[in-house]
């Protein structure tokens, strides 16, 4: 395998009530708590414009992941066939980046409370771009307007 190295620098750390993997839900929507992303002062100015209620992608480095696993039973369900790790959401993978779609709950200086998020306390993290609502394609837009027009004709 041809090796190319990239550098990804965390901009902060997650402060979460989740302290160990066994206590963490598999996905944020499965009962994960809110947590604080503490952003380094050097880049805190970059938080300007983020508001409570915004949806963001938080990228985490899953530091407790096993990096030599290439297949797993999805959701650790032994009745399901072994599946390639890249087809699952398992944290165990050669390059354990976690992607978490979260909602901003609170902002306090260089700290952003987000949730729900299933990452562990002390996880290195970075905030990516805000999530935007998907815009309809021209065809979907046409279909939406056409059906609305048709239903108003029935009235």
CATH class of the domain whose range is 12-154: mainly beta
Per-residue model confidence (pLDDT) at position 32: 94
**14-to-95, 135, 155 alpha-carbon distances in Å:** 19, 31, 54
The answer to whether the CB of 56 falls within 8 A of the CB of 127 is yes
Cβ 15 vs Cβ 36: under 8 Å: yes
pLDDT confidence of residue 137? 60
- Model confidence at 130: pLDDT above 70: yes
In this predicted structure, the answer to whether residue 144 has a pLDDT above a threshold of 70 is: no
Give 108 or 153, the one with higher predicted confidence. Answer: 108
d(CA 64, CA 1): 24
Structure confidence at residue 28 (pLDDT)? 85
């Amino acid at each position: 395998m041809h090796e190319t190295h990239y550098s990804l620098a965390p901009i902060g750390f997650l402060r979460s009530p989740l302290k160990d993997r066994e206590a963490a839900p598999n996905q944020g929507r499965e009962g994960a708590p809110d947590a604080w992303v503490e952003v380094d002062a050097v880049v805190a100015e970059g938080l300007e414009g983020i508001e409570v209620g915004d949806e963001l992608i938080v990228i985490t480095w899953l530091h407790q992941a096993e990096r030599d696993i290439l297949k797993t039973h999805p959701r650790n369900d032994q009745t399901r066939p072994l599946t390639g790790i890249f087809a699952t959401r398992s944290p165990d993978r050669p390059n354990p980046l976690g992607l978490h779609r979260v909602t901003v709950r609170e902002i306090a200086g260089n700290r952003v409370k987000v949730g729900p998020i299933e990452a562990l306390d002390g996880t290195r993290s970075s905030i990516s771009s805000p999530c935007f609502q998907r815009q309809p394609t021209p065809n979907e837009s046409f279909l939406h307007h056409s059906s609305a027009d048709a239903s108003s004709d029935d009235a």
